[in-house]
Structure 1
Amino acid sequence: MQPGPLNLITDVQGLKVGHAHDPKLKSGTTVLTADSPLTSSVHVMGGAPGSRETDLLDPDKSAPGVDAFVLSGGSAFGLDAASGVVQGLRSQGRGFPVHTARVPIVPAAIIFDLINGGNKNWQQSPYPKLGEAALESSKADFALGSVGAGLGAMSASLMGGAGSASLVLDNGIAVGALMIANPIGAVTTPGGRHFWAATFEIEGEFGGLGPDPRSGLGRDMKSDKITAMMRHANTTIGIVATDAKLSKAQCKRMAIAAHDGIGRACMPAHTPMDGDLIFSTTTSTKELSAPDLDIAMIGHAASLCVARAIARAIYEATPAKGNLLPTWREKNAS
């Protein structure tokens, strides 16, 4: 397996990603969409999720496809970003046909970034407009780090962000991940230099420093984030995608496997205070040749992409006035 040409989730041909954010707000929204509805599912492993339209992604539910996904800051307010995306899709004539009406299907998930130093004293929620703007800006090549829903994200000791990564299997099937890293846990080992996901890094995509040479790690759970914010406010959310032709049940299996990537990249992961959630989706353009083996490898590749995407999110974060924590580059400038 090797990364695709962009090393982004959009190496799954047909997918587009858009960001919109407000620096004063220190928050934003990220949207993934395609020109045609996507077979999709979801798996939630955090104890404090915030989401919209997740029940219809269960394999026994009748909704046939998804028009777009929303990942947003803003906690419960950020779920309103999906309303802006629905409006944008409606204006494009997109949506599930119901007699003479069309209803865009837009699942969403949020991170908590309401006390990250940004100005949250709005009179009207900014998230619907951010959602619509993110949809309008969607394209194959997009930025990582302090953008979109990742603008105000934080990990335990460093600023978080938006990250992505891809792999192409030996049989040509593409797999990718798009993650917003805002965990209560640390993405780096103590000291903030080496990434927990270093074992899975490819071609120096997040610094090329390799694993921490020390042993006995993982026992110190100190969180500068909790100190800075004086409360729990967390979550790692994202989307994994493939071009393999999968059913909703097979997408569900991919989402479950992909959560291994959060466990590999964040220490600890899936806590009662995190809302860890991964959507899974497919463009369904490539047939499976050996279904059981292919699905196993797709899930494995998705977990690797998730771990790498989380590390890339922190690695690519950029400094900004008012940040409560340093970025990885600030911490390791020397």
Structure 2
Amino acid sequence: MRNLITDVPGLRVGNAQDEALASGVTVALFDTPTVASCAVLGGAPATRETDLLEPDKMVPGIHAVVLSGGSALGLDAAGGVQAFLRERGIGFQVGNVRIPLVSQAAIFDMLNGGDKDWGRYPPYRELAYEAARNAGPDFALGTAGGGYGATTANLKGGLGSASAVTASGHTVGALVVVNAIASAVIGNGPHFWAAALEEGGEFGGLGLPGTVPPDDRRPVWKGGPQPATTIALVATDAILSKAQAKRLAVSSHGGLARSLRFANGLFDGDTIFTAATGRKPLGDEAADFTHITVAAADCLARAVARGVYEAAALPFPGALPAWRDLFAQNRSGR
């Protein structure tokens, strides 16, 4: 177990980023067309090819999910993944044509200090192609890929991942770009809201404070006109229907509620994709599926904290500090 979403068999993940742009792309490629769905609960999303994931839609499976920077301009990234897949003969067959099905969500990272003066067309298509080419079982976390330019209300955000195995033996994993409108830490830190779920000191091993006083519960968020979004993919090796994948996406938003103060607001585009790679059937359908939904929310909460914990600050004047810049001495060393 790598404690990454790639512990779920049937998918690979790749990153690419542009340091001057201060943005990037993360791509999850599926080995075979995969049952998927999504739940968009934020009020300001930037998404592509989400309608086809609804249970009443015809397409039985998709080929990739993209998590990128660039806001709506970053939605070009899916085209780069389609190009990569078409070159390899991968896609949904329609007559003699193959159409790669690639769903995407993007974060707003346009005001993080990077150079966004890219000319006529944004660079996300090429970045996504590179990320797809880099896809494998291991990938960087923190300031990497789609999380390169991510921020939270008070700390640098980033790319996070975590995995778990349920009591029924199903593997569950989460991949998240933490660009939250709010905070992943209690008050000014160092404790993470998700600390009660931490495994093996994966984000510092500090646990929770004895109490959370009212001042530390006061919501803080990115001010001014800047929206924000936390976007994620949750995957399992279970055999699920599209309807079950939809329910899993909705349930997984509980992981954002447990790891951020707050989520699913008016000015965020919080979006969660789900994928079932179909390697292991459900035994007791209701019980096994419930265990998967619980593990998914927990994995996502851990991945959020891990994305912030692993991040490094951007090298621009006025950039938000990273958790490690402020609190590295507080780590338990476990």
What TM-score, normalized to structure 2?
0.96
Which residue in the other structure is 1:118 paired with?
A: 114
- AA at the equivalent of 1:85: V
Distance across 2 between alignment mates of 1:149 and 1:108: 11
Counterpart selection for 1:305 from 299, 305, 327:
299
Kindly tell me the number of residue pairs found equivalent between the two proteins: 326
Give unmatched runs, 5+ long, in structure 1.
none
Q: Does 1:273 align with 2:267?
A: yes
- AA at the equivalent of 2:90: R
Counterpart selection for 1:292 from 286, 291, 295:
286
Which residue in the other structure is 1:160 paired with?
A: 157
Which residue in the other structure is 2:140 paired with?
A: 143
Instruction: After superposition, give the CA deviation of every residue in 1:285-333 in whole Å (9 maximum; x if it has no partner).
Output: 1111000111111011000000000000000001331162000001214
Contact 2:44 2:227 in 1 (8 A): no
Which residue in the other structure is 1:182 paired with?
A: 179
Which residue in the other structure is 1:219 paired with?
A: 217
Counterpart selection for 2:170 from 173, 196, 211:
173
Distance across 2 between alignment mates of 1:23 and 1:31: 18
**Secondary structure class of the residue paired with 2:174:** strand
Which residue in the other structure is 1:34 paired with?
A: 30
The Cα of 1:191 is off from its aligned counterpart by 1.7
Note the 1:14-33 alignment, pairs <5 A. Answer: 14-33=10-29
Note the 1:204-283 alignment, pairs <5 A. Answer: 204-217=201-214, 219-223=217-221, 225-226=222-223, 230-283=224-277
- AA at the equivalent of 2:89: G
Contact 2:187 2:217 in 1 (8 A): no
The Cα of 1:275 is off from its aligned counterpart by 0.3
Note the 1:12-161 alignment, pairs <5 A. Answer: 12-123=8-119, 124-161=121-158
Distance across 1 between alignment mates of 2:192 and 2:217: 15
**Secondary structure class of the residue paired with 1:185:** coil
- AA at the equivalent of 2:322: T
Aligned-pair identity in percent equals 49
Distance across 2 between alignment mates of 1:214 and 1:190: 12
Which residue in the other structure is 2:332 paired with?
A: none
Instruction: After superposition, give the CA deviation of every residue in 1:119-172 in whole Å (9 maximum; x if it has no partner).
Output: 000113100001111100000111110000100100111000000000011221
Give unmatched runs, 5+ long, in structure 2.
330-334
Which residue in the other structure is 2:314 paired with?
A: 320
The Cα of 1:212 is off from its aligned counterpart by 2.2
Q: Which runs of 4+ in 1 moved over 2 A?
A: 212-219, 230-233
Distance 1:219 1:171, change over 3 A: closer
What TM-score, normalized to structure 1?
0.96
Distance across 2 between alignment mates of 1:329 and 1:215: 22
**Secondary structure class of the residue paired with 1:325:** coil
The Cα of 1:219 is off from its aligned counterpart by 3.2
Which residue in the other structure is 1:331 paired with?
A: 326
The Cα of 1:267 is off from its aligned counterpart by 0.3
